[in-house]
């Protein structure tokens, strides 16, 4: 189907400062950061630099395992070839050893 929407593929490297709020078994967090993102969109590769923000919630199902959801936004500051920001929602898993 030639009319299908192609989602961008993204690889990122950067630094985040994660801030937690932990009421009981819950772990609510925000992680502002800055880094480099390599984006492939419509068979074109583009690299950009900019801030990022991740917010998430985890629930501790045991002493060593927590599961939840995370939303990430990567902001494009320097590339005119990319359209807007990249956003993703993910399932998050945290393991403690």
Please tell me the predicted confidence (pLDDT) of residue 69: 98
Q: What number of other Cβ atoms are within 10 A of residue 2's Cβ?
A: 3
* 73 within 8 A of 47, measured Cβ to Cβ: no
Please tell me the predicted confidence (pLDDT) of residue 37: 87
Please tell me the predicted confidence (pLDDT) of residue 1: 47
* 50 within 8 A of 37, measured Cβ to Cβ: yes
Q: How far apart are CA 16 and CA 43, in angstroms?
A: 29
Q: How far apart are CA 60 and CA 82, in angstroms?
A: 38
Predicted structure pTM score: 0.78
If you average pLDDT over every residue of the chain, what do you get? 87
User: Which has more confidence, 73 or 2?
Assistant: 73
């Amino acid at each position: 189907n030639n009319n299908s929407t192609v989602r961008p593929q993204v690889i990122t490297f950067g630094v985040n400062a994660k801030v937690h709020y932990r009421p009981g078994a819950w772990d609510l967090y925000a992680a502002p950061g800055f880094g480099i993102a390599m984006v492939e969109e419509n068979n074109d590769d583009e690299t950009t630099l900019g801030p990022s923000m991740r917010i998430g919630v985890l629930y501790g199902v045991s002493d060593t395992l927590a599961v939840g959801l995370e939303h990430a936004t990567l902001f494009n500051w320097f590339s005119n070839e990319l359209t807007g920001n990249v956003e993703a929602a993910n399932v998050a898993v945290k393991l403690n050893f």
